[in-house]
Structure 1
Amino acid sequence: MIDTRITGLEVVPIAFSDPPLLNAAGVHEPLALRTLVRLRAGDVVAWGEGRGDALPADVVPAVRDAVLGLDVFATSRIEAAVDAVLRRLRPELGPRARLTSFAPVEVAALDAQGRLLGKPVSELLGGALRERVDYSAYLFFKWAGHLDAEPDEWGEALDAAGVVAQARAFIDRYGFRSIKLKAGALHPDREVEALLALAEEFPGLPLRIDPNGAWSHETTLAVARRLDGVLEYLEDPVLGIDGMSRVHAETGIPLATNMCVVETAHLLPAVRTDAVQILLSDHHYWGGLRRTKDLAAICEAMGVGVSMHSNSHLGVSLAAMTHVAAAIPNLDHACDTHYPWNRADDVVVPGGIEIVDGAVAVPTGPGLGVEVDESRVEELHERYRAAGRTARDDGGYMRRRDPNFTDALPRY
């Protein structure tokens, strides 16, 4: 009889290298923050990865005590136990924050289930419907290097030529077959020029742009006119469901979001007003892989397309994203990933997961199908402790270069 009880749960905050990527909130700091969950069940060790603020340190002992002894296959009971702790100790947290806390625990539980059964996580989610999951080249305007540091391997990208060179490097190295450009950092004219240069340099590749709500309604309409027929979709050009609905009504351009629909309560208003045509799911804040698959089913019923959002992450998250993406029937756009920017500090053993020809092969080994280098985990944990940071501050870092910078939106 296999012992499937949870016998240990540790939460390990980590910090890893991140380039100076510009965005509407400012610029990425030298270190990105993430949370790893190490879960023990029976005779296996399993892993989950979440946002840097996924599990606050003050709740970890109580969360661990609440899940010890539970069957690792009973994820509903595990979620209820985690939720009860958060409601008691952090009553200010809303439903979305509590789901963010549970997500890496759920991934670790699924990893453990797969390891105990000798099956990949995709099989636990109903089976992989595709052998490979497509990802998009995720481009950023960026400084040549961090403040007071030498230029990094990617170099500067502050104009169209720099962005095209960055795209060429990504495509040559990883074979991407679609491109996303993060916008909202520079004047829209410069960002449009970069996208048009990408369209000329890489004809036929689907293109998308994401200003994270940094544009006004009028600016968005002007951009939409200039990019008519160029974009696969436009992501979060303005803030809010009402703003997105107005843009779509006046332009007809497909709109995607990971900002105005982030809870199930947002779905119906967004659909009723035709504000969103593609929902960018993210298991890190929708509550895990099973909830993400459920979300995709709701989108299918409502006639909304599905893709996947990304933030700075490592290979545990990439594996989890790939498993759930493989099991979603109506995934109809290449997913986002920051992995090329962060892979140099990965905790996954080299060769465990790779982007080849713009796609990641669905791991077929047990659980997530990747192995974690625990010495690397400890190294990144020590880096976290030495940094003394517990929250991301893109705006504060930008103000070290430009004291007048404000992250108030819309900006243009």
Structure 2
Amino acid sequence: MLGMHRRGAGDTVYIAKYIERYRIRINAPVACCHQDVRRYVVERAMKVSDVRITPIAFRDAPVLNASGIHEPYALRTILEVECDNGMVGLGETYGDAAVLSAVRAVAPALAGMSPYDLNSMEAQIRQILTALPAAQAGTELAPGSHPSKQVPNCFSAFEVAFLDLQAKAAGVPLHQLLGGAVRREVPFSAYLFFKYARHIDADYADDPWGEALDPEGIVRQATRMINLYGFESIKLKAGALHPDIECATIRALAQAFPGLPLRIDPNAAWSMETAVRVAGELAGLLQYYEDPVAGLGPMAELHRATGLPLATNMVVTDFDELRQSIAQNAVQIVLSDHHYWGGMRRTQTLAAICDHFGLGLSMHSNSHLGISLMAMAHVAAATPKLSYACDTHYPWVEDDDEVVMGGKVKIEGGCVRVGDEPGLGVSIDRARLERLNGIFERIAIRSRDDVAQMRKYDPAFDPGKPRF
């Protein structure tokens, strides 16, 4: 049998004869002793033959945050890595100019590479990106576009595509490559924003969510979102309006949705004094307190002062920051994000470290589409200790702005289901991809800038922190 054969220069001929003799079809289920043959031939045959990088833009709602307001269009980059056997692996990442430049620079170097050789791929990425001019810092609310995250972000985008290929070649869902699903239903939370009714300069119709600039507006928003998607926890993006309004909003949500876990995220817009005061006013109402103040030291001080569990996607964004946070007991919950932690498997490493040190774990989100959502869902499905429902901006995506075949991924009962389809379980809708690429080519936005957009509404807007 193959396991008894010493592989060498004649392997290809030997295995080809073996396959012909036993009539093994590479893409068909095979018996136990033939699995090694199938796997070996597929691995040996698969080489990257083409990498397609498609920048896209899709409508984004006029939602507020500590740095201003989202622009009318969000940017993403869709990756298609094709092998010489015709299989295609998918990835999705940020669409800012620096990120797009990085993935475009790396793509040609992947030709001829095995999608199983992740170490060589990462080495190529480091070599290529080190030689590029230094990237400019993106918005602080999108850590993956920060220059310090350029290598892990670029690697993650291609790692997802390579793992998608590996799983498709094996005929298994991607979560099986990550150890298998410990849950098939991955919980997400309702992500609420204060928002305007429309963009000041949008070239499309108003979004269906309407204005939300007070507690009543946010409760209406939450009611609609929960009715549509069945979410069983709620996150409020704060740091946009006065803290008194945002506290009143949390109290209104607690009254409207008794028993549902609540979170508030001011994105470090509050002073220590404000953060301590708000903690007292919302005592007993918060599941956790996310990034109320800036920096590991202040977060540790706030935790000592209030005893509240603090979550972050801002001060713990890599393993060195995690080490520092553990030493100070600054953060009790890490909001992971495979886009800038260095991929799906490093997210699993993060999860194991959090479990070892007794830290909670959930997932951070930025504006994204279905490929990213399914990557999040697969790694979350294979993470034994997922402490809290994950964040996602996905409900804010308009139905016809999704690029995966069949339209938007379903969220039911507040969960995304991972099934048994090979790989990520999604494929590209070519017509939609081309339409969104056309929008990207038409508009002037090339990097997210919430501050500049907000100054169209308020020329005196100052994003300096703390704001309150």
The equivalent of 2:193 in structure 1 is 140
In the other structure, the counterpart of 2:57 is: 15
2:383 corresponds to 1:365: no
Number of the residue aligned with 1:276:
331
**Alpha-carbon contact 2:79-2:90 (below 8 Å) kept:** yes
CA contact (8 A) 2:59 2:398 kept: no
SS of residue matched to 2:197: coil
Q: Match of 1:109, SS?
A: helix
Q: Given residue 417 of structure 2, which amino acid in structure 1 is its aligned partner?
A: A
Partner of 1:4: 46
The alignment-based identity, stated in percent, is 50
Work out the CA distance in 2 between the residues paired with 1:33 and 1:240: 28
The CA distance in 1 between the partners of 2:348 and 2:114, in whole Å, is 22
The 2-side partners of 1:55 and 1:78 are apart by 19
- Structure-1 residue corresponding to 2:374: 319
Closer/same/farther in 2, CA of residues 34 and 148 from structure 1, 3 Å limit: closer
Work out which of the two has the higher radius of gyration on C-alpha atoms and give 1 or 2.
Answer: 2
- For 2:109, the equivalent position in structure 1 comes to 66
Partner of 1:300: 355
Secondary structure of 2:80's counterpart equals strand
Instruction: Label 1:53 to 1:99 Cα distance change in 2 as closer, same or farther (>3 A).
Output: farther
Q: Does 1:387 align with 2:429?
A: no
SS of 2:245's equivalent in the other structure is: helix
Offset at 1:77?
1.4
1:201 equivalent in structure 2: 256
- Residue 143 of structure 2 aligns with which residue? none
Q: Shift of the alpha carbon at 1:145?
A: 1.2
Deviation at 1:200, TM superposition (A): 0.3
Q: Specify the code of the residue in structure 2 equivalent to 1:190.
A: I
> Contact 1:319–1:363 (CA<8 Å) still a contact in 2?
no
CA displacement 1:269-297 (0-9 Å, x = unmatched)? 11111110100000111111111111111
Partner of 2:88: 45
Q: Is the 8 A contact 2:99 2:150 kept in 1?
A: no
Q: 1:123-153, CA deviations, whole angstroms, 9 ceiling, x for partnerless residues?
A: 0111111010000000000001111555420
Instruction: For residue 89 of structure 1, report the CA deviation from its aligned partner.
Output: 2.2
In structure 2, stretches of 5+ residues that fail to align are 1-40, 136-145
Tell me if structure 1 keeps the 8 A contact 2:355–2:385. Answer: yes
C-alpha change, 1:372 and 1:61, in structure 2 (3 Å) is closer
Tell me, yes or no, if the aligned pair for 1:178 and 1:334 is still in contact at 8 Å.
Answer: yes
Partner of 2:122: 79
8 Å CA contact 2:72, 2:201 repeated in 1: no
Deviation at 1:96, TM superposition (A): 2.0
Match of 1:89 among 132, 138, 146: 132
Point out the more displaced range, 265-274 or 135-144. Answer: 265-274
Q: Deviation of residue 35 (structure 1)?
A: 1.1
Instruction: Describe the shift of the 1:258–1:59 C-alpha distance in structure 2 as closer, same or farther (beyond 3 A).
Output: closer
Matching residue within 130, 146, 151 for 1:98: 151
CA distance change for structure 1 residues 218 and 293 in 2, over 3 Å: closer, same or farther? same
**Per-residue deviation, residues 201-259 of structure 1 (Å, max 9, x unmatched):** 00000000000000000000110000000000000000000010010000000100000
Instruction: Judge which range, 165-174 or 341-350, deviates more.
Output: 341-350
Instruction: Give the distance between the partners of 2:154 and 2:404, measured in 1 at CA.
Output: 22
CA 1:313–1:275: 2 relative to 1, 3 Å = same
Name the SS for the 2:424 alignment partner: coil
In 1: Cα distance, 2:316 partner to 2:102 partner? 27
After superposition, the C-alpha distances for 1:299-329 in whole angstroms (9 at most, x for unaligned) are: 1112111000000000001000000000111
Match for residue 329 of structure 1? 384
Specify the code of the residue in structure 2 equivalent to 1:17. R
**Structure 1 residue 363 displacement after superposition:** 3.0
Among 412, 426, 431, the alignment partner of 1:375 is 431
Residue-by-residue CA offset, 1:93-128 (whole Å, 9 max, x unaligned): 855221112211111111111111111110011111
With over 3 angstroms needed to count, the CA separation of the structure-2 counterparts of 1:61 and 1:54, relative to structure 1, is: closer
- Do structure 1's residue 171 and structure 2's residue 226 form an aligned pair? yes
Matches within 5 A, 1:115-154: 115-148=168-201, 151-154=206-209
Q: Counterpart of 1:224?
A: 279
Which whole-Å deviations, capped at 9, do the CAs of 1:311-367 have from their partners, x for residues lacking one?
A: 000000100000000011111100000000014211112266210010011132111
Separation (CA, whole Å) in 1 of partners of 2:363 and 2:396: 17
**TM-score if structure 1 supplies the norm length?**
0.97
| Distance of 2:364 and 2:257 partners within structure 1 | 23
TM-score (norm 2): 0.86
Q: Give the superposed CA RMSD.
A: 1.5
Using a 3 Å threshold, how does the CA distance of structure 1 residues 128 and 86 change in structure 2: closer, same or farther? same
- 3-state DSSP of counterpart to 2:427: coil
Structure 1: gaps of 5 or more residues: none
Q: Which residue of 1 aligns with 2:72?
A: 30
Partners of 2:398 and 2:383 in 1: CA distance: 25
Distance in 2 between the 1:158 and 1:314 partners? 26
CA contact (8 A) 2:402 2:408 kept: no
The amino acid across from 1:188 in the alignment is P
Structure 2 distance, partners of 1:313, 1:229, is: 32
CA distance in structure 2 between the aligned counterparts of 1:363 and 1:88, rounded to whole angstroms: 41
